[in-house]
Amino acid sequence: MRICSFQPGATEIVYALGLQDQLQGVTSKCDYPPGASNKPVIVRSIFDDDHHTSGEITRIISERINQGLGLYHTDQAALQATQPDLLLTQAICDI
């Protein structure tokens, strides 16, 4: 089975179950267990590599939600390259 995890907690569970060799992709926030950071990154937060104040973050999130946009970018080419059988993810709660 080929697995992609879009949530750090799910990545930890994959490792706890001994399925790390089947894990084909993770988010930019998946840094634990240590081997997870060596997996291909499929999903990144719109705030990765940026420094924003609390007010800026609130404004950006509000604008994106009003525009129907998400807070994460999925690398479609990388996702397709992994040919996953299973995606581990969760819904984002309203702010």
List the 72-74 sheet strands across, edge first: 72-74, 41-45, 23-27, 3-5, 86-88
**Domain range for residue 7?**
3-88
pLDDT in tens, 21-70: 999 999 999 999 999 999 999 999 888 666 888 899 999 999 998 999 98
Domain count, the chain: 1
Amino acid at 93: C
Residue 94 forms part of a structural domain: no
Residue 84 forms part of a structural domain: yes
- Whether the model pTM is above 0.85: no
Residue 93 forms part of a structural domain: no
